[in-house]
Chains A and B, each alone.
Chain A
Amino acid sequence: MSAVRAAARLGDDIPRISLMWLLIAQALVIIPHLLHVPVWLIGLWLLCAVWRVQVFRMRWSFPNGWMKATLMLGSGFAVYLSRGGLVGLDAAVALLITAFILKLLEVRNRRDALVLIFLGFFTVVTSYLFADSLLAALYSLLPVIALLSALLGLQQSRFATQPLATLKLASRLFAQAIPLMVLLFVLFPRLDPLWSLPQPKDKGTTGLSSSMTPGDLAALGQSSALAFRARFEGAIPAPTQLYWRALTLPNFDGRSWSISERFEARQPEWQAQGESISYSIIMQPSTQPWLFSLDVGSSEQADIRLMSDFRLQRRTPVNRTYQYQATSWPQALRQPQLSQAQQYEFLQLPRDGNPQTREWAQTLRGQYNEDDALVAALLRHFNQQPYHYTLKPPLLGRDSVDEFLFSSLRGFCAHYAGAMVFTLRAAGIPSRVVAGYQGGEINQVGQFVQVRQFDAHAWVEYWQSGQGWRSVDPTFQVAPERIERGLQNALEDEADLFQGGFLSPLRYQNIAWINQLRLSWENLNHRWQTQILGYQRDNQQAWLKQWFGEVDWQALGLLLVASAGLIIALIVLWMFKPWQRQTDPVQRVLTDFQRLLRRRGFNRYSGEGLRSFYQRIHLSLSEQQQQALSAFIEIYEQQQYAEQGSDLAGLRRALAQVKKSC
């Protein structure tokens, strides 16, 4: 009836499937870390993986104590050397991965394998600290499912030999867990950090810096990296209105413009006028504390303040993606009064250098009495003379402003802004360079503005008593298309300079469908960042308020437990399918049979075999009944145990016989 199978003993060693998935999972876990761990870890992993496989094939043996100690100390020392210490997140993660790799050589039994799998899950979590993009998150599903397969394979018996079947099972479990995960994600209360931990180190992020030599911005102009995204509450303003202020650079040393150390957190004097614009910004890590805003920006967030030069600044540098709300009054009156000392600061120039420009400024001053008229004349000069806007300006010598204004006539926005401020100061008008971003790409799919590093820009502010600060942009006079249609349109003949090469979708902006695809993808990324990554305390509370009204923690806990219970109940119901219990027709016939006998007073005990049931009752049956019953039982047992094709009709006939006899 059935063969006695040699049963596998529940050994302590690791099943083949599990080991295989463990190795795959380990590779998948380590891959995203390769961007920031020392390269030699790859070699170490290969060594350990080969070693472990050879151990499994019984070719090599496990390393002995000395070898393990040497490997451990050696790798620890190597991490110390390549990371310059063992403190900090980078070194900690490198150590974690080293341990994760070396542990492979120690995996002898199930318990070791469990430790390795848990370490793997933890390593996946740490990878999120370095990369949390949509793609990184999607990728991380692979190591997670592989680790799950390894965990599952650890429990399977020897008879399970199909790695793909294990994978399938793991994926099914994974899919079942998703509803509950979403629920926990949405409702689990977000806490403030319990203690501060080392943050991922700056990976050489590009962006504005605190000083500007004219060539610098041109270099930024070649980077298509994302700087920030802005979503407006109302309509998106025209590109010519989008001057994103980051810094002011009032100090000039003859070559570069830099920030003033004297800017204080003291609120500058200003009066809101006209319409206001509200928007939220998600900025990429910049490792700098300054934020981006339209003039004059203000924010109600507690860790943001308005500095005396009208820039918004955060208390701590932005090391991770950061989201903030701001409101701006573009027509505000800014600092109508400045003290003599302040005015002097915005007039300072190096003692000598650029004599030609100084002379020209004096000439202009002689021609125009009014400051506004002088500024207008200067702008006209840029407009009418054959100035050329380029990302490839010629190298300039010691008197850089002179050379640019009177001989090369070629430059990037920083050249124009710097030269203009120099001239204004030489003419006695307080002024400063403003650095930031201009414009940005409007994503029609998602209704937001996306600003990249190549949108970096510099413009000019000059001050007049009573009128306060006014912004002008000399670049607009030279290359209005830069402001109206963006940098790329202004520099079509220099398109090669844009980073990304052939594969960059930015390169194919002219092809409509690729561009549409790119915009949709960027919109998806934007939503990912605001709605998933940005789902922290504030967002959660806002979201809960929107759906459930005012919710306190107690109610939230209740809601969480209740809905988790509901989801679990649904999944369990789906797992057991109680409505299908009686759909097996053979079982249904058996139920009928038992009901029939129960009516005659013969109860089958739970767990009593049909045969023994019959043995127990057959003496109190008539001969006809005995025959009918044993015939039925025989057919039933054939169905159940003999793996014959189902003879349902025969079983039903036998039941009818039993019915007749009773």
Chain B
Amino acid sequence: MLSRLFNLPRQWFAAWLARRLPPVQSIRLQQRHIFIVPTLAGMAYSGALLLMLLVAINYQNSLAYALTFLLASLGLLSMFHTWRNLAGLTVSASGSTPCFAGEYGSYRLRLHSGKADYQAIAVGWHAKQLTLVDVAHHSEQCVELSLLGRRRGWQQSPRLRVETRFPLGLFVAWSQVDLAQSILVYPQPLPDVVVAATGQGDEADSEQTSVVAGVDDYQGLTAWQAGDSLRRIHWKAWSKGQGLLIKQFTEQQGQLQVLDFQQMPGDVEFRLSVLCAQVLKISQTDQPYCLLLPSQQIGPDLGPEHRQRCLRALALYGVGIS
């Protein structure tokens, strides 16, 4: 009850922030986006100034007065400099790389300046873990941040903290922007669980069987495409200058691996994790495979695109369409 009470201000703040900084792909930081507060160092600084003022008063020393006032003016003006060091900076989302649950995916953003130079801009998810970049005038900086994938599916990135303490560190100007970005999180693969993928007719979790077994039924050559195994490249043809060709084997169709959701033990998440591990494992071989989910079938096919499709389907199973 009490903790909920304590959380109330935070919720209000979040709601207020959402109104003030709605999700956008790209934002040019302006007056209403930037907040500025003195830092701990700033407070210590004013304490030191107070001490100097006391010395000036008690010793009636004009120079001590002058230095105190100089530092006070500097501190005050540094507030505007700090604010200036964030104002006008454009922050845009620039895509993300998917990851498996429990691992870190990367999240790219671009900082883009206009006329002004920006120094020591700190970006990150938490105030304690920030990355510093400088953005010179009329230039762009890319920053890659890592984000922990917690649960499979689309994971909304938290608000991004953009802050700066430059030049004197007495004030911190910050903004929390929502770049409306999500990162795709695949299920956590569980490779140690030995569950056989059901081949058609026999058990086949060993890659050798399929490849070796199909050698006799050599069908012909087709053009190499990205994702085809290097092992099946017809090197002789390549050395004759005929380009990259691969040998095709009809038998492989018969060795099709089927990864069937229904055949898996355990609950939904467990099944998805196991399937994920198997997709990863099989995709390292040259075997075609297909993924059977209750609502859809993917494949049979092979190659990185197919793998991606499978992983995506696993990630998004039951969470609605992408």
Q: Give me the interface of A with B, judged by CB distance under 8 Å.
A: 1-5, 7-10, 110-111, 114, 118, 121-122, 124-126, 128-129, 132, 136-137, 140, 144, 148, 151-152, 154-160, 169, 173-174, 176-181, 184-185, 188, 190-191, 193-197, 199, 320, 532-536, 568, 571-572, 575-576, 580, 584, 587, 605-609, 612, 640-641, 643
Interface residues of B in 57-94 (CB under 8 A from A): 57-74, 76-78, 80-81, 84, 87, 92
- What 3 pairs across the A-B complex have the smallest Cβ distances? A180-B73, A184-B69, A177-B73
Q: Does B166 contact A (CB under 8 A)?
A: yes
Shortest beta-carbon distance from B299 to chain A in Å:
32
Which A residues lie within 8 Å of B27 (CB)? 606-607
Asked if A148 and B74 sit within 8 Å, CB to CB, the answer is yes
Give 27 pairs: A residue, B residue, CB < 8 Å, sorted on A. Answer: A7-B131, A8-B132, A9-B131, A10-B132, A121-B48, A125-B67, A128-B61, A128-B67, A144-B67, A152-B168, A157-B119, A160-B119, A173-B74, A173-B167, A177-B70, A177-B73, A177-B74, A178-B70, A180-B69, A180-B77, A184-B73, A535-B62, A571-B80, A605-B24, A607-B25, A612-B25, A640-B112
Q: Name 19 extra pairs, CB < 8 A, besides A128-B61, A190-B65, A608-B25.
A: A2-B110, A8-B133, A110-B169, A122-B52, A125-B64, A129-B55, A132-B61, A140-B63, A140-B67, A178-B73, A191-B57, A193-B59, A197-B59, A199-B59, A576-B87, A607-B25, A607-B27, A608-B24, A609-B25
Least distance between B139 CB and chain A CB atoms (Å): 7
Q: Once the chains are docked, how many angstroms separate the CA of A643 from the CA of B168?
A: 31
The residue in chain A whose Cβ has the minimal distance to the Cβ of B23 is A607
Residues of B within 8 A of A148 (CB): 74, 168
B267 CB to nearest A CB, Å:
40
Q: Would B131 and A8 count as touching, CB distance under 8 A?
A: yes
Q: Which residues of B are found within 8 Å of A188, using beta-carbon distances?
A: 65, 69
Query: Size band of the B side of the interface?
Result: 35 or more
Are B169 and A4 within 8 A (Cβ)? Answer: no
Q: Report how far A177 CA is from B141 CA in the complex, Å.
A: 31
Contact assessment for B28 and A185 in the assembled complex, using a CB-CB cutoff below 8 Å = no
Chain B residues numbered 12-27 whose CB sits less than 8 Å from any CB in chain A: 24-27
Whether B120 and A121, one on each chain, are in contact in the complex, defined by CB atoms closer than 8 angstroms, is no
Taking CB atoms, residues of chain A closer than 8 Å to B52 are 121-122, 125
Contacts of B80 in A (CB 8 A): 568, 571-572, 575
* Residue of B62, B72, B74, B119 touching A132 (CB-CB under 8 A): B62
Q: For A155, what are the chain B residues with a Cβ–Cβ distance below 8 Å? A: 120, 165-169
In the complex, what distance in Å separates the CA atom of A576 from the CA atom of B30? 13
CB-based contact B26/A607 at 8 Å: yes
Residues facing A in B150-167 (CB within 8 A) are 165-167
Given the complex, which residues of B lie within 8 Å of A184, measured CB to CB?
69, 72-73
A259 to chain B, nearest CB (A): 29
Residues of B within 8 A of A (CB): 24-28, 41, 44-45, 48, 51-52, 54-74, 76-78, 80-81, 84, 87, 92, 108, 110, 112, 114-115, 119-120, 122, 130-134, 138-144, 165-169
CB-CB under 8 A from A157, the residues of chain B are 119-120, 132-134
Complex alpha-carbon distance, A438 and B249, angstroms: 121
Which residues of the other chain, B, contact A178 by a CB distance below 8 angstroms?
Answer: 70, 73
Please tell me if the beta carbons of A580 and B61 are within 8 angstroms of each other in the complex: no
| 8 Å CB contact of A194 from B57, B84, B115, B169 | B57
Which of B87, B114, B138 has most A Cβ within 10 Å? B138
A160: B residues at CB distance < 8 A: 119-120, 134
Pair A185/B69 contact, Cβ less than 8 Å: yes
User: In the complex the two chains form, what is the Cα distance from A185 to B63 in whole Å?
Assistant: 10
Q: Is the CB of A129 within 8 A of B59?
A: yes
| Inter-subunit contact A118/B48 (CB<8 Å) | yes
In this complex, what residue of B is CB-closest to A151?
B168
Contacts of B25 in A (CB 8 A): 607-609, 612
CB-based contact A608/B65 at 8 Å? no
Chain A nearest Cβ from B124, distance in angstroms: 8
CB distance from B20 to the nearest CB of A (A): 13
Docked Cα-Cα span, A364 to B64, in Å, equals 62
| Residues of B close to A152: CB separation below 8 A | 167-168
A173 and B76 in contact (CB under 8 A), knowing A154-B169, A533-B63?
Answer: no
Contact yes or no, B67 A124, CB < 8 A? yes
Contact (Cβ within 8 A) A193 B139: no
- Chain B residues with CB under 8 Å of A640's CB are 112
- CB pair A607–B67 under 8 Å, yes or no, is no
The answer to whether A7 touches B48, judged by C-beta atoms less than 8 angstroms apart, is no
User: What A residues does B72 contact at CB under 8 A?
Assistant: 181, 184
By a CB distance below 8 angstroms, the chain B residues around A571 are 77, 80
Task: Give which listed residue, A129, A144, A612, contacts B70 with CB less than 8 A.
Answer: A144
Contacts of A5 in B (CB 8 A): 133, 141-143
Q: A155 vs B81: C-alpha distance in the bound complex, in angstroms?
A: 13
Q: Quick check: B55 and A169 within 8 Å, CB to CB?
A: no
CB distance from B151 to the nearest CB of A (A): 27
Q: Determine the chain A residues whose CB is within 8 A of the CB of B131 once the complex forms.
A: 7-10
Indicate whether A125 sits within 8 Å of B56 (C-beta atoms), given known contacts A151-B168, A584-B115, A641-B140: yes
* A132 & B63 in contact (Cβ 8 Å cutoff): yes
Chain B residues whose CB sits within 8 angstroms of the CB of A180 once the complex forms: 69, 73, 76-77
Residue of B56, B58, B67 contacting most chain A CB atoms (<10 Å): B67
Q: Which B residues touch A193, using CB under 8 A? A: 57-60
A127 to B25, CA, bound (A): 55
Q: Determine the residue in chain A with the shortest Cβ distance to B55.
A: A125
Residues of chain B lying within 8 A (CB to CB) of residue A137: 63, 66
Check B73–A128 contact: CB distance below 8 A: no
- Inter-chain contact A4/B142, CB cutoff 8 Å: yes
Docked CA distance A225–B208 (Å): 102
Taken together as a complex, chains A and B put the C-alpha atoms of A121 and B167 apart, in Å, by 17
Query: Which residue on B lies nearest to A111, using beta carbons?
Result: B41
Once the chains bind, are B134 and A114 in contact (CB under 8 Å)?
no
Alpha-carbon separation in the docked complex, A193 to B65 (Å): 13
Q: How distant is the Cα of A185 from the Cα of B56 in the complex, in angstroms?
A: 12
Which residue of chain B lies nearest to A157 when distances are taken between CB atoms in the complex? B132
Inter-chain contacts of B87 with A (CB < 8 A): 576
Quick check: B58 and A10 within 8 Å, CB to CB?
Answer: no
Give bound CA distance, A109 to B25, whole Å. 37
Return A6 CB to nearest CB of chain B, in Å: 9
**Bound complex: CA of A195 vs CA of B55, how far in Å?**
10
State A596–B138 Cα separation when bound (angstroms). Answer: 25
Chain B contacts of A8 at CB under 8 A?
A: 131-133
